[in-house]
Structure 1
Amino acid sequence: MFFVLILMALTNGISVLSFNQPKLCPTAQWNSKGSTLFFMSDMFTKYPILFIDSNNTIYSVSEKEHEILISFKDRIHSTSIRYSFMSVLSAIFVTMNGDIYTSYQNTIISKWIASTKKFVTVMNAESVCSDLFVDLNNDLYCSMTEENKIVKRVLNKNNEVDLTIVAGSNTAGSASHQLLLPRGIFVDTNLDLYVADCYNHRIQLFNLNEKHGKTVAGQSSTDITISLYHPCSVIVDSDKYLFISFYLRHHIVGSGPNGFRCISGCDGEGIQSSAAKIPSKLSFDISGNLFFRDGTDRLMKFTLEKNSCEYLPSTIQAMYSSILTNNQRFSRTLFDHPFYYYETIEITVSKNDLYIIIGNSSIDLYGHVYKDHFERFNPAGNLIAWYGKCCNKDQFKFTLDLKINTKYILVVTTYNPNVTGPFTITIFGLNTIRLQHMNVEVVVESIYSSALTQAHPKYDYRSCEDASESFYEAVQVEVNESGFYTILSSSSSSNMHLSNYVYEHNFNPRMEFGNLLTNRNNGCNGNPSKITIKLMTGIRYILVVTTCIEYQTGKFSIKILGKSNASFQRVDASPITNSSYSSNLTNANQKFPRFCGSSGYYYYETVRLTVLTNGVYTFLNDPQLNLMPFYRHICDSKAGLTVKLRAGTTYIIVVTPIMPLYEVEFQVLAYGPTNVIFERFVDNSTYCYIGGPCDAQVKSIGLTLDDILRDQINRNMTINHQPFLIKISVAITTLILIAGIISSACSLLTFQNRSLRQTGCGLYLLASSITSLLTTIMFTIKFWFVLLTQMSISVHLSILQGGCKSIETLLKLFFYWDAWLNACIAVERAITVYHGVNFNKAKSKRYARWIIFILPFCIMATIIHEPLYRQIFTYDMRNVMLIESMTDDIAETIEDRNTWCTTSYSQSIQDYNTGSLFVHLLGPFITNFLSALFIITRSARRRVEVQKQQTYKAHIREQWQEHKQLVISPTILLFLSTPRLVISLLSGCIQLSDHVWLYLSAYFISFLPSILIFIVYVIPSTLYRNTFKNSRLKICQRPRS
């Protein structure tokens, strides 16, 4: 059956695979930065699920909604499948016919049948499947991480218990037939199984029906490949080249005919370090683009750079020849002894471009390319490409995208140890390249020996234990010359695993993160402790040596390798003092919405603190229940924050519970070089922060649409998945746009008539028709800009900044311009009544043209400060969690990233802004109202002079009946503008989420005057109505003629 399927695929060109195995060129390169497609905190899960089928349909999971999200290639809107199993989804796989296999944390495996659109239970696996795969024979594979094995079930059989172990066994281990906490799996078209053997730091290949695997990458590989650290996902392309993502390091590497290269994360770029300790899932699309789903629920895309395959530079730009001698040696990997001779060459390019680096020799070569810095005692650091192969003409070959103003180091060594001989390096490219031999610094070795005993103090290297039983010794280290140094440690017993930590200036076990320069758990991951760090002269460093297992004692030695001698001196822990502050959070405390977009409010207490001495301080809390005010690191029983504080500066600590409106007793403990002075305070000033950390702006006049909608929009969801408030806002905005266009078009049709433009009034009305249209269009642009930029996180920052500074300003310009034109119309009418038959139409038109031209510049001058004070504010929702109990690994992740347009004025600018708002909103109304009263009274006075038989009051009543629309119109306009004025002038702190319907309605109402110009000016006037009818008739009759 298998060969029949393959034959059908070859003869008919039909894909029999539901997943993608693209054919990649040897020089394929991916954009290392990546772009985020989805970013949804609602989807947070410990199992980062992703599948892309051969139609480029993306399958992901919303754990919060219990939905499988399906995003089709050419459709804007996604669909969803709701699963009913009340458990966390752990893996999915989609077959060619659209059936979806799903596994859950409750060990159930189910299938969603596309033809019936229903779920059926496939089996109870009796262990969680961290990954699923269905091969060409319709066999289902399950990666049982906790059972250290991969099992297979033949789906064509009805026997539910028909499970076969195809990799690993029931016992953990590192032998070829064993696995240790396996994760990702992949089965190729030959039915060969690839396993990411996570805690054995390797990729295992199990050929069909073979129980013993071959290590194709990582530790114990029979060939020289790559050092892996907790690989969690593996996929292969059509040529069986590997692509691997790392657990706990967030690297992505790929292999090819030219060896391994780093795709993202290996040089400190690419994926953000804030999410560097979360498992990841890889998948190809049909075009060869790499998709990456991590535990912070970002779906990232690494685009295949087409130009990396379109051309290969054939012009030789540089050549370098030399001879490897026995003068220099280093360890190529973390596991080998330093028996490899090498030479270092600095590469400098003159232009960003693709370059081909080839090494040739009569001996078997191996090449490494580093970025910025190479340290021979830490060969994995800064490594971006590496390869070597026995007995080839081209011993190694790299195709790399090199950048100007960047230092690259090519390290030429040998495939086998203890080999010397000549070699030649040839670089092809389109631009000039410079190769320069790098002299190897003389390495000075400094050794310190001692022993850990039961008399030594204890150190909490895991940071989450209340009382640690690991002994430690603190050693002061000083160097005579600044530079990179490598710190190695060894013990007298093979069972005694050491871990080293470097602190700057001071160290105290109560402040394990204070002044810490190196990563935690160094040496406790199965590899020897090795630290490469830059040390400076004149600075006191404290090296802490401890054990990975409690109660261990024994002799140890420290070796520091570098450019100068290092001096050692055993020291005691630096003295510290402790201070404390205790209180209760109750309903008497202030409250605020701690998380952006959340409707839940949290009690909080603000504590002012000062210190007498500059230094590093650690703050811990000891609550009765789970209080979590700090985000730096968190354990089950305590949370803490380590910061540098300066004397003479006032700091604020905000303490809040983890649950909304929760009352709890708490205590904050502070450790540092001197006492910390705590003082509770309550800020009752009117300049308060709205909405907690989400709104980093002081309440200022002029509420905008950004302020109203920012917490109501669901991130990375389509319109269909938005709240009812957003949907109704979309409908209202659409209606306003349609009504505004119709009203402005009818007004333009009316006032374009030459007879109406004989006076300034007609010109004002024509201009007002245009500004009303511009206001309506800009209002629509504003609404959709706020909505779309909040719905998607992939909008470029320059677009956000440009829209933030320009759209609101232009909207106000057109809105105020339209309002002042209405005032000019009223004034023009009043002037006409005042002059009567002596009214000069030519002068009126000349003045009107100048006023229409000058007016926008005057308005802009009053609001020019707004784009200067409008800025993009980014707020990250962070989560800190213990992600691996076996190694106590803690990850601080960004669950969501919110970017808003905010304003923050100084008091003087705010006072000016208040006055400007009053002028622009009340000025046109007052002008309209006074002009209308003047017209009525002036006309009545003239009638009294002519018709003396009627009283003045009678003439007033007649004039009111004739000109009442002149008073009613500005009154209506003021009434419609009043809600916006009122909400803008609210004093004190306001919670927008409490009355969002009120604020949004007021905002929409304030723009109704822009769509009422036809109703306000044309319909009440017989002359204008007749002119509109005649103009419309002319247009209707024009095609007939």
Structure 2
Amino acid sequence: MLFISAVIFVINGVSALSYNQPKLCPTASWNEVSRTFAHEKANVTRHPIQFIDTKNTIYTASEAERQIFIRHEGQTSSKSIGYLHNSSLSAIFVIDTDDIYTSYENRKIEKWIANKNEYVHIMDTESTCFDLFIDIENNLYCSMSLAHKVVKRQLNEAKTTIVAGVDTAGYESHQLNSPTGIFVDTNLDLYVADRMNNRIQLFHLGETDGKTIVGDDSSDITISLRGPYSIVLDSDKYFYIAEYDNRRIIASGPNGFRRLFKPSLNKCPRCSVVVHAPFGPTKVSFDVHGNLFVSDLDNRRIQIFDLQKDSCVSVPSIIQTTYSSVLTNEHPRFSRNLFHDFTYRYEAIEITVHETDFYILTASSSVDLYGHVYKDDFHRFDPSKNLIAWFGQCCRKDQFKFTLELQANTKYILVVTTYHPKVTGPFSIITYGSHPLNLRLMDVEPFIESIHSSQLTEKLPTYDPFCSSVPTFFYEAIQMNVIESGFYTIYIRSNRANTYSNIYKSNFYPSLPLLNLLMDWDAVENRHIDPVTVTLMNDTRYIYVMATSYKNQTTGFWMNIFGRSHVHFQPFNISPIIHSKYSSNLTVVNPTYNKWCVNRYYYYETVRLTIFTTAYYTFVGDVDQRIEMFIYKNQFNLWNPRENLVKYRALGCAILPQITLLAELQANTTYILLVTTMKPLETLSISITVSGPADVTFERFIDNSAYCHVGGLCERQVKGIGLTLDDILRLELKRNMTINDQPLVIKISAALTTIMLFVGVISSAFSLLTFQNGNLRTVGCGLYLLASSITSFLTITMFAIKFWFVVITQTNVSIDLSVLQGGCKSIETLLKLFFYWDAWLNACIAVERAVNVYKGVSFDKEKSKRFARWIIFILPNCISATVIHEPLYRHMFSYEDKEERFIDPWYKVPLDVNVISTDTWCTTSYSQSIENYNTVILFIHLLGPFIANFCCALFIIIRSARRRAEVQKQQSYRKHVREQWKEHKHLVISPMILLLLSTPRLIISLLSGCVNVTNHLWLYLCAYFISFLPSVLFFILFVIPSDLYRKTFKESFFRLCRRKRRSNQI
């Protein structure tokens, strides 16, 4: 066979497959976060134009440029080929010789010959080809969506034949309805995405009747589809389907079907839940690495989902567990699929997992088997519920083979049945892995069948289950109660027409058919309603409502319920409903807010609701009102309208003026109803009716809380008080620019920081040189001054680190978030620690001197030194205890600057936004109690050292003057005071200078975090820099004013110079 295929390849000029069919492992997965294909011009086509060949060359097209772009692997630029016709391109296919087959909306198919750089005409078609495909025998296939068929033509012949569908749309096996994507495998079997029929059809070679292999009418359990657009196969013939209407990519595999990934999240404009951003997959292709390329029609782009290299798991080929049994006619029966007869014998096997790991479950038998794996529970009347893996195929040696990650302490059920009905026989189950599994026969839970039958006649009342028109549908409401809580499966049949069924919880109101609705489902063409398995509680009342799907129609129906206990049926008496009304006006005096997190503002009003009974409530607005309503739990955050939003269902109903939303509200809980307009800055009157089983009270209120918020639209958070260097410089710093390109204020600040660091280091070095002298450290004062020299150096160094950290992190966006987070939490906290430590050491110096004066000749120097050592050690621990909470409240906050990309023409709201830039701030968010605590601590650390210094200085002057007056009585006490003031005035002046220099820091630390610094930027910047001058000028403040210290410094300095000179001479 391979030789014959090779001969065919050579004869027809096709040497190999030109498209990629990767070999993928059973556990292969793709990155949830997609990349956009770099060529932006490829984003502007109406049709899913993309192709990736086996050399990883990517072919895309641009309708605006009217060109086909070719990008080879490893290249950043693309080669372009112009369109041949003045018509839109509808499909392309590339063969291994790099020749490109193209189809156009003007119903022409052309071929671009790569080695000649020219087009040749292939054929004209009766309808536009939505997709093209060329099989291994050089047959060209054209999917004619508007003609509802697929045609084939041998490239070397002129004859065209229909291989799928007919000229009219239909649902029969030989018909198609708007076929789109096609794929032909190496066996020449044709796969068609039958879009409007919501199925994938397989047409074997030479057969005109197709088989549904994916979709509701498949003979096997597959998956429901809505609008499948295209299909590709991997090397194992597993399917990958682009499902446009459901906005997803579906894949099959040895474990059944699955959804591969979800697109990025966004906010639904009309509802409270988080939904997926606009994503319209229309075509799927593989590259040579197994990455998925998806044409996104909604956004006119190609998204790339990378194959995760570590997703393939190797399971040891060690047999861990075996299980053998025989399916007999005594086994229970079930249906593998809905509405099929219960003709399949099955055995349920409970799997006990001791270790979470990957396992292989396979089977062998003399008959063809079909396997199902369920999680938690198995419901034989609803075989698709809780199903996590399923597979079966005729005539396979391995029968089924599941590779699954099984979790410990989780219940799994393996259901073994046969591929064909009414077949019995022996089978064996074998498990592979690193750990054994326990397999045991699972007892089949007995069930009780409850039956109810009735007639929908013209004597019954009417309502509208769709909540969309005048109530003209006959219905019957039946109350159901169960004796035992558990799972119950409900089957409905009618003898005439389609029916509509609802189940309500607790109560049912015909005028509000969506209130208390638990679930609803429709009948299908054959008058069956899909069986539904639900959990029914024995302490809850349920109301089942049966209605016809057509107006003024009657029918009989039967309801069968299978479950643990008997279900009691009785007629249901309709309860009254209570309406509560609220009216007001939205005017220009109302506040505004940003509803959709873009630059569009809406007037709004907030109303506090009081709920007395837990239940579902509907919120109704008059039909001529263009309003929207949102419900928030506990509070409404103006700066983030997504926060605290209560989940609700947006509804529309013609039997009432306009049902806006339905929500379940709890009693004794605060709810905020926000009423706003559909259009920005629109004024109108509002009238709202809340309907439910109890009264609702309304209280209009306005939130006047004046919190400071930082961030972008809908990405804000409360900021604590105080200005930091981040707040002062952030708006002035320019992204991705060097210091030379920054504004003048940044350059000057950088120069000042460098100068202060240089002077501070020299000052600290001179101070250390002075106080390392042993003669000055005979008392505790010398030790304090030595330690203060070190803390001054640490303070000014940390100040410089803080400045450059702010500059570098705000100008360089590529810095890792962990580095930003670490700097945000630690630098400011360490800066405060060293700053406060330095200030308190200065206070300790003053206290030491005061104690010396007080003790006089009895002053104990050794005790003073001992106390000093302990205080120097304890002081930073005490200060740390007061600021240790700071890192907990400091964090990096990122937000995006956005702009609208396009507007929904119906609701006039943005459906998508474009991210302009991303900003990252180091912010603090304190509660009110922590903020008050910080204020107290700030005053203690800044005013405490000043008070200690000032009081001790006055004490020294007064005490020294008094002692002199006692000895030298010839002078007055006042004269002695003047003399002591003259001698020790620097002790008073120094703390006052320190206080004066620290006052700016105190002020900016108490300012609102939202103060506009741009208007007085230099003022705030100078205040911040001035507060660190004491650490810079330590030598000037403490050494130069003292004759003793100045003399000691000179001696130490000259001694160091002499030592240096002597070492140089040696």
Fold shared, TM-score > 0.5 on shorter chain: yes
In structure 2, the CA distance between the partners of 1:861 and 1:226, relative to structure 1 (3 Å rule), is same
Q: What secondary structure, in the 3-state scheme, does the structure 2 residue paired with 1:387 have?
A: strand
Compared with structure 1, are the counterparts of its residues 6 and 918 closer, same or farther at alpha carbon in structure 2 (3 Å cutoff)?
farther
> Where do 5+ consecutive residues of structure 1 fail to align?
38-49, 51-57, 61-69, 71-79, 886-891, 985-991
* Alignment match, 2:36: 59
1-side partners of 2:442 and 2:1018: how far apart? 69
The aligned amino acid for 1:446 is S
Match of 1:164 among 129, 132, 150: 129
2:161 corresponds in structure 1 to none
The answer on whether the counterparts of 2:371 and 2:414 sit within 8 Å (CA) in structure 1 is: yes
Please give the alpha-carbon distance, in whole angstroms, between the structure 2 residues aligned to 1:957 and 1:264: 85
Give deviations 1:197-256, integer Å, cap 9, x for gaps: 4443322457999998664433455x7462333256644334442234656767765334
Decide whether the 8 Å contact of 1:249 with 1:276 is kept in 2. no
C-alpha displacement at 1:436, in angstroms?
1.6
8 Å CA contact 1:983–1:999 kept in 2: the answer is no
Contact 1:248-1:279 within 8 A present in 2 as well: no
Corresponding residue for 2:932?
911
Equivalent AA in structure 1 for residue 832 of structure 2: Y
Which letter maps to 2:129? T
Deviations 1:971-991 (A, max 9, x none): 45543563342115xxxxxxx
Contact residue 501 and residue 516 of structure 1 kept, 8 A: yes
Write the deviation string for residues 869-893 of structure 1: whole angstroms up to 9, x where unpaired.
Answer: 789999999x9x99999xxxxxx99
Would you say 1:755 and 2:758 are equivalent positions? no
Identify if the C-alpha distance between structure 1 residues 1028 and 476 changes in structure 2 by more than 3 Å, giving closer, same or farther.
farther
Q: Note closer, same or farther for the CA distance 1:7–1:352 as it changes in structure 2 (3 Å cut).
A: farther
Alignment of 1:101 onto 2:77: no
| Structure 1 residues 237 and 705: alpha-carbon distance in aligned structure 2, compared to 1, 3 A threshold | farther
C-alpha spacing 1:648/1:255, structure 2 compared with 1 (3 Å): closer
User: In structure 2, do the counterparts of structure 1 residues 341 and 116 end up closer, same or farther at CA, with 3 Å as the change threshold?
Assistant: closer
Task: Call closer, same or farther: CA 1:84–1:371 in 2, change over 3 Å.
Answer: closer
Residue 816 in 1 paired to residue 832 in 2?
Answer: yes
Name the aligned partner's letter for residue 787 of structure 2. Answer: L
CA–CA distance in structure 1, aligned partners of residues 500 and 530 of structure 2: 6
The one-letter amino acid paired with 1:485 is Y
Is 1:402 the counterpart of 2:419? The answer is no
Relative distance call for 1:467 and 1:659 in structure 2 (3 A) is same
Deviations 1:458-489 (A, max 9, x none): 555445x3646554432222223222111122
Alignment gaps of 5+ in structure 2? 1-5, 72-76, 113-117, 131-141, 149-168, 631-646, 773-781, 1041-1045
Question: Is residue 227 of structure 1 aligned with residue 244 of structure 2?
Answer: no
Tell me whether 197-206 or 151-160 shows the greater mean CA deviation: 151-160
Per mean C-alpha deviation after superposition, the further-off stretch among 645-654 and 861-870 is: 861-870
- Give CA deviations for 1:647-703 in whole Å, capped at 9, x if unaligned: 555532121224443323222221101232223233446689999995897786457
Equivalent-residue separation in structure 1 for 2:834 and 2:302 (angstroms): 45
Give the SS at the match of 2:143: strand
Aligned with 2:663 (options 637, 643, 656):
643
Residues 753 and 800, structure 2, Cα contact 8 Å, conserved in 1: yes
Q: 1:116 to 1:311 in 2, by over 3 A?
A: closer
Provide closer, same or farther for how the CA distance between residues 381 and 791 of structure 1 changes in structure 2, counting only shifts above 3 A. Answer: farther
Equivalent residue number for residue 619 of structure 1: 619
What secondary structure is seen at the aligned counterpart in 2 of 1:656? strand
Aligned to 1:260: 256
Structure 2 CA distance for partners of 1:959 and 1:860, relative to 1, 3 Å: closer
What do the CA deviations read for 1:166-196 (whole angstroms, capped 9, x no partner)?
A: 2254254334665446676778899987554
Q: Which residue of 1 aligns with 2:338?
A: 334
Distance 1:619 1:688, change over 3 A: farther
The 8 Å contact of residues 751 and 762 in structure 1, kept in 2 or not, is answered as no
Distance 2:11 2:1034 in 1: 75
Partner of 1:28: 27
CA separation in 2, counterparts of 1:118 and 1:1035?
Answer: 74
Structure 2 counterparts to residues 188-337 of structure 1, below 5 A: 195-204=192-201, 215-221=212-218, 224=220, 226-230=222-226, 231=228, 234-244=231-241, 254-256=251-253, 258=254, 260-262=256-258, 274-275=274-275, 281=281, 287-288=289-290, 304=308, 306=310, 308-334=312-338, 336-337=340-341
Q: Which amino acid aligns with 1:911?
A: N
RMSD: 6.5
Corresponding residue for residue 449 of structure 1? 453
Cα distance change of structure 1 residues 732 and 279 upon mapping to structure 2, 3 Å threshold: same
Q: Which stretch of the first structure deviates more once superposed, 646-655 or 1003-1012?
A: 1003-1012
1:50-107 Cα distance to aligned partner (Å, 9 max, x none) = 7xxxxxxx325xxxxxxxxx3xxxxxxxxx747997xx97756376666642469xxx
User: Cα 1:902–1:818, aligned 2, differ >3 Å: closer, same or farther?
Assistant: closer
Query: Residue 666 of structure 1 aligns to which amino acid in structure 2?
Result: I
For 2:494, the equivalent position in structure 1 comes to 491
The verdict on how the C-alpha distance between 1:93 and 1:477 changes in structure 2, with shifts beyond 3 A counting, is same
Are 1:139 and 2:135 counterparts? Answer: no
How far residue 1002 of structure 1 moved from its aligned partner, in angstroms, is 9.4
C-alpha distance 174-861 of structure 1, shift in aligned 2 (>3 A): same
Cα distance in 1 for partners of 2:835, 2:307 equals 50
Cα separation, 1, equivalents of 2:625 and 2:84: 42
Q: Taking structure 1 as reference, are residues 625 and 519 closer, same or farther at Cα in structure 2, changes over 3 Å only?
A: same
Matched, 1:677 2:697: yes
2:1007 to 969, 972, 982: 982
Q: Aligned partners of 1:481 and 1:607: how far apart in 2?
A: 42
Q: What amino acid does structure 1 have at the position aligned with 2:663? A: V
- The alpha-carbon deviation at position 347 of structure 1 amounts to 0.6
SS of 2:378's partner is coil
Q: 1:706 to 1:1013 in 2, by over 3 A?
A: closer
Query: Compared with structure 1, are the counterparts of its residues 905 and 1019 closer, same or farther at alpha carbon in structure 2 (3 Å cutoff)?
Result: closer
**Given the two structures, how large is their TM-score scaled by the length of structure 2?**
0.70
Q: Which amino acid aligns with 2:223?
A: S
What CA distance in whole angstroms lies between the structure 2 residues aligned with 1:601 and 1:440?
A: 60
Shift of 1:415: 0.7
Greater displacement, 735-744 / 399-408? 735-744
Quote how far apart the aligned CAs of 1:361 are.
1.2
Whether the aligned pair in 1 keeps the contact of 2:846 and 2:953 (CA below 8 Å) is: yes
Change (3 A) 1:423 1:193: closer
Q: Answer yes or no: is the 8 Å Cα contact 2:315–2:433 preserved in 1.
A: no
1:340 Cα deviation after fit: 1.3
Tell me if structure 1 keeps the 8 A contact 2:315–2:434: no
Q: CA deviation at 1:565?
A: 2.4
Greater relative contact order structure (CA < 8 Å, 6+ sep):
1
Tell me if structure 2 keeps the 8 A contact 1:503–1:517: yes
C-alpha separation in 1, matches of 2:432 and 2:392: 19
Q: Which stretch of structure 1 is more off in the superposition, 837-846 or 357-366?
A: 837-846
Paired letter, 1:571: F
Please say which of residues 200-209 and 617-626 is displaced more in the overlay.
200-209
Kindly provide the amino acid, as one letter, of the partner of residue 663 in structure 1. T
Larger CA Rg, structure 1 vs 2: 2
1:226-625 residue pairs with structure 2 within 5 A?
226-230=222-226, 231=228, 234-244=231-241, 254-256=251-253, 258=254, 260-262=256-258, 274-275=274-275, 281=281, 287-288=289-290, 304=308, 306=310, 308-334=312-338, 336-453=340-457, 456-463=460-467, 465=468, 467=470, 470-493=473-496, 496-518=497-519, 528-548=529-549, 552-594=553-595, 598-622=598-622, 624-625=624-625
Aligned residues: 938
Q: Which amino acid aligns with 1:139?
A: Y
Distance in 2 separating the partners of 1:654 and 1:462: 27
**Cα distance in 1 for residues equivalent to 2:511 and 2:501:** 17
> 1:45 aligns to what?
none
Mean Cα displacement is larger for which, 473-482 or 628-637? 628-637
Which residue type is aligned with residue 226 of structure 1? T
